Structure 1
C-alpha cells in the first residue's frame, strides 16, 4: 500500500490540477508537482518492485515446500522400516524411540501447517511479513529430513557399515560442546568462590572435564578396534553428559548457598525455583566445537544426531523453565540441552519476576 501511495501521489496531484484547469479555468497554467513528488514516485516504484519480487518469491516458496514435503514423504516408509528393525534388535532402544516419537509428532504438526498454508492475498504478499510462515515450514521440513537422516545413520553406525566414523564424529559434537561450556561455567565458579573447599572441588571438576574428553576420544579408538559395541558407545556418551551436568549442578548449588548477600539469596532462590526461561539462544547447540587434537573448530550437524538433543525435530523449549540438570524430562524422553544457560544462574541479577536481568 505504501508503494501505491508513493507512486500515485504526484500523478494524482497533476491530474487534479489539469482537471481544474480544463473544467473551471482555475489558474493561468497547470502547475506541475514539486520535484520531491517525483522522487516519491521513484521510491514508490522501488517499493512496488521489491513487493513484486516478494510475491514471486512466495509462489516459489510454495513450490519448494511441495517438492521438499513430497521427497520427505517418499522416503518415510523406508525410514519406518529401518527404525522398526533397529528397535527390534535392541540397539539403543530407549534413546532411539524417544528420538523417533518426537520426530513423528513434529511430522504431524508440520503436515497440518502445510495443509492450512495458503498463499497471502495480493497486497499481503507485497509485505516482508508474508514470508514468515513459509520459512518456518521449510525449517520444520529440514529438521524432519535431519531426523530421517539420523535414523538411516543409526542403521549404518550399528552395523559398522562404511561411513560409521562420520556418524560417530557427528555424535560426539554435542558432548564436546557440553564439556567446553561446563568448563566455562567452572571458570565462573572459580571467580566467585570464597570457600576453599568449593574452590578445590571446582578444580577437581575441571580435571574431570579433561578426563571426560579423553574418554570420548578413547571411545572412538575402542569402536575402531571392536572393543565396544556402537550402542554401548552412545550410552557411554549419555553417561558422560549426565555425570558432568550433575557435578556442575552440585557445585553451582554449593557456591550459591555460601553467598549470604541479598543478591546471593535471590540467586539461590531462583536456582531452586528454576527461574530462568529456556531459549534457542541459550540452549541450542552451535554446530561446531573446538578440537584440541586438530587445533581447529570441527563442524557437525546437531539436528542429525542419533541422541535426542535440543536441535532434534520435535523439541520445542522456548519459554520452558531452565532445569538445573541440563536435561529436559518428559515421559520417557530425555532431551540434552546445551547447558550454557547455567552460567546465568550465577552471573545475572534477579528482576521482579525472578528471571535473570541483563545486568551482571
Structure 2
C-alpha cells in the first residue's frame, strides 16, 4: 500500500499588458521592470490545495522455464480540496473545489529468454493521474487516464558486459484538459493524445569504463480537442520528438566512480497550432560517488554543467518557461 499527502499554496498576479514590457527570452533585460511600481493588484489569485492519495496494489511474477509473466492490479482513492480567492479591481470572489476520485489500473507483461541472449517481450499497462481543479461549470476534473502497449526485444551477452533494448510503444491519454482559446478560464476534459514511437538503448562494459547510449522517437498527435478542432492531427506542445543520451561511468578505484554524459532534445513545438519549433538543446552533466565504508556512500552531481540558457517548453508564444539552470546536488546513501 502507498499513502501520500500534500499541502501547497500559490499566489498568481497579473499586471496586465500596460504594466510589463516585452522581454527577449534569449537575452532578457530585467532592468526594464520595477517591481515596486507594477500594478499587481489589478488581478490576484490565491490557491490553497490539500491532497491525499491512498493506493492498494498487488503484483505477481510467475516463471515457467524460460517464460516470465508479470500481472498487477492497483486501486487508488484520491481526495483534494482547493480553496481559490480571486481579487479583481477590489472585488473578491472565493470558491472551494472538492475533488474525490477513485480508479483501478492494471498491468500484464510477458518476456521469453532465448539461449542466445535475446529476450522478446510485450506488455499492456494502464495509468491514472489525478487532476486538481474544475471545469468552467465548476464540476471537478476527472483523472487523466492512459493505456500503453509496448513490445520489443532485450539482449544480454553471456558475460553480461553488453546489453541493449529495442522497444516500440503506443500510448493513448484520455480526459486531457483543453482550453477555450478565447477564454483561458474555460477548461474541459475532452482532449485525447496518442503517442507512438520507438526507443533503442544499449551499454557496454570496457574494463573500468561503462558506456551507455539511448535514442527515442515520439510521434505524438492530438486526436480530440473540443475547443480547437483545427489542431486535431497536430503535435501537442511540450513534447519532444527526439531525445538522445550518451553516458559514461569510470570506475577509478573500487571506492571511487566518476561519470559524465550528454543529453539532446529536439523537435518540440511552440504551441499546439504547430506555428513554430523550439530550438534543439544539448546539455552536459557530470557526477561521482565515493564509498566511505561498506555502509555509507557519498555522491555529487552537476546538471547543465555549462549553465546553458535555453527555452525549456512553451504553452504558446506568450507563455514559455526557461530550462533549468546549472543545478548541483550532494547525496548520502546508507545500505543496511
TM-score by length of 1: 0.22
Higher relative contact order (CA 8 A, sep 6+): 1
More helix by proportion, 1 or 2?
A: 1
TM-score by length of 2: 0.23
